[in-house]
Chains A and B, each alone.
Chain A
């Protein structure tokens, strides 16, 4: 059973400016959510808080499994992952980058190989598997980031502006992959974007960040 993510009365301020204000929302398992809003409105901050990468000033981030709350320990954290606009690429090959999350979980080598292969195939990077990851283009790097996140088969995948600084061809591949994941409904997708056209291309629930809170319409 998938994870339900509940945000309850989240507040967060940066340098005296309140970016998230009394934000409450429930993300159901298997759903696709697209969060929109202008730059600097607090979308990324909220995403980082929801992904347990940052603590809120106030409020609670709860994860439920079949209605039962789960402790926010390393086991829970390993069921979530986030792809950032700047993918932190490890200085090794493309395949080893994708294998990273599996390696640190102690996944058996044969299974690791299969999961790396299928993640690379999904983002169409199989032909680059032995290439050094640092030599990829920015679009390919973003696809690598996505493959790396998908390989660990998370319950919730957070994506922060996944196509902001990349070309049309790479954007198309990433959107195709995300649409496919969204249709499978095996994991929860939470995508932050400021691109309205892109948001419309995803068939998920559209949310807006307004006055530091998530709303269904502007």
Chain B
């Protein structure tokens, strides 16, 4: 108990002391997760919208696969990417293994199905009269799609926030493809695992506090988006 309370107070001190290593790790974590999320949004949102709006071939297979991939075990993603990116792998020539780029790829793979599935669900849930209205007011199919995406914005944002929650807390895949190299690929989650292994709890706890705060913020954001969506859905029922 004493270890926990002492560790906690030292961790808080570390956070407020402006420790360089700590902030370097936080910054890299945010950079990797932010880039992965951006890529996941760039791939997942248009793809989700496409499958929501068009009767594409293999539609239900793709949707089922993406729903399944939402729960993809990070270590499996790490393993597959390791095999692909390692020197003898098909993309070994790119020398990406143990770089932040490899970590970004791993997190993109984890976040994309979440952004895809939640965007798709949000767009499909938009009242069909909205699409009808856009069409009769002269929207081209592309303008119609943009209108529906805008109408589904709360659900889509919730999906992106959920994706961020998933990747920022993830440890298995980034550890396997990033290698947890000090000052290069060491992020919050991998540092916590390493420091705990070493019995050095100050940095681990400090990062734990930051990660938890981040997770709290993500959840607050998610709840706020869901609440906003619910309020507006209620208004629609009166319509």
Contacts and interface: CB of A to CB of B under 8 A. Distances in A.
B147 interface: yes
A82 B136 contact: yes
B169 interface: no
Contacts of A89: 130, 133, 236, 239
B232 interface: yes
Contacts of B147: 90, 100
Contacts of B238: 138
Contacts of A129: none
How would you classify the secondary structure of chain B's contact residues: helix, strand, loop or mixed? helix
Interface residues of B, number: 22
Contacts, number: 67
Given A77-B138, A101-B138, A88 B232 contact: no
A182 interface: no
Interface string B145-159: 001001100000000
Contacts of A145: 133
A148 interface: yes
A78 interface: yes
B132 interface: yes
B59 to A, nearest CB: 22
A74 B140 contact: yes
Nearest to A145: B133
19 contacts: A53-B132, A77-B138, A84-B129, A86-B129, A87-B133, A88-B129, A88-B131, A88-B132, A89-B239, A90-B150, A91-B150, A91-B232, A104-B137, A104-B138, A105-B138, A134-B239, A138-B238, A149-B136, A152-B137
Given A104-B138, A104-B139, 12 more contacts: A51-B136, A53-B132, A84-B129, A84-B133, A87-B239, A88-B132, A89-B239, A90-B130, A90-B151, A101-B138, A134-B239, A152-B137
8 shortest interchain CB distances as A-B pairs = A88-B133, A88-B129, A78-B138, A134-B235, A101-B137, A88-B130, A82-B136, A104-B143
